[in-house]
Amino acid sequence: MAINLGKGQSINLTKADGAALQRVRMGLGWDAKIVEKRGMFGGVKQIQKDIDLDASALLCDANGPQEIVFFGQLRSRDGSVVHTGDNRSGAGDGDDESIMVDLPALPAWVQHVYFVVNSYTGETFSEIDNAFVRVVDSLSGDQELARYALSANGPFTAMLMARVSRGPQGWVFTALGEPGQGRVANELAAMVAQSVANHR
């Protein structure tokens, strides 16, 4: 049964039997808000515009980001993190973009993997509904382990959604929900570096 996390809450990434997870998929989703537009003759039409949000993963050592997996580089250099492709509208149900992480294959220098969402087209999160990040066990039929539904919206164009960190008992998933500004993931590098420093 999946765990619904609140901002700042964490869970260990283990199976029900206590074994360490091998491959996880971070699914990120969102919807553009439906707005009403009045026509010339008093009619009301509901419209939902396409908003191009992009999910990315920032691989960090103890000092901050060292590599970014995003729509322009779909694989990390060693292949342990793979982005499944860009969704330019947020249309449809379920995950809009996914990032696969092979936890045992992550290089030893990786202490954290941050998952962020940016508004490539510059719209703010005040125009977004139902944003979420969820972690699923990709080797067990995509069994959902945890989900974080974003409740905040406002005049920001980016969000640090979640982080996976090395811990004494294995990998730990933390819901973040930290707003930021930036149309592409590398514009959040300084913010992520500060978060890494705060986590030491």
Read off the pLDDT of residues 102-139 as tens digits, 9 standing for 90 and up: 999 999 999 999 999 998 888 888 888 888 899 999 88
Task: Write out the H or E segment, with its range, that includes residue 116.
Answer: strand 112-119
User: What average pLDDT does the chain have?
Assistant: 86
Taking a C-beta distance cutoff of 8 angstroms, is the pair 96, 74 a contact?
A: no
Residue appearing with tokens 């901002």: 7
Residue appearing with tokens 């580089």: 73
Domain ranges, residue 62: 3-31+51-199
> Looking at residue 131, which CATH number applies to its domain?
2.60.60.30
In a domain, residue 138? The reply is yes
In a domain, residue 74? The reply is yes
d(CA 16, CA 173): 15
In a domain, residue 122? The reply is yes
Taking a C-beta distance cutoff of 8 angstroms, is the pair 136, 27 a contact?
A: yes
Q: Whole-prediction pTM value? A: 0.87
| Burial (CB count <10 Å: 0-12, 13-18, 19+), residue 158 | buried
Read off the pLDDT of residues 32-68 as tens digits, 9 standing for 90 and up: 776 666 666 666 666 566 678 889 999 999 999 999 9
In a domain, residue 44? The reply is no
C-alpha 94: how far from its chain's center? 14
In a domain, residue 40? The reply is no
In a domain, residue 37? The reply is no
Task: Write out the H or E segment, with its range, that includes residue 194.
Answer: helix 189-199
**b/e burial code for range 5-42 (CB count within 10 A of at least 16 → b):** beeeebeebbeeeeeebbbbbbbbbbbbeeeeeeeeee
Tokens read off for 161: 């959604």
In a domain, residue 162? The reply is yes
Taking a C-beta distance cutoff of 8 angstroms, is the pair 183, 71 a contact?
A: no
Total domains, the chain: 1
Read off the pLDDT of residues 151-190 as tens digits, 9 standing for 90 and up: 777 899 999 999 999 988 889 999 999 999 999 999 999 9
Taking a C-beta distance cutoff of 8 angstroms, is the pair 179, 125 a contact?
A: yes
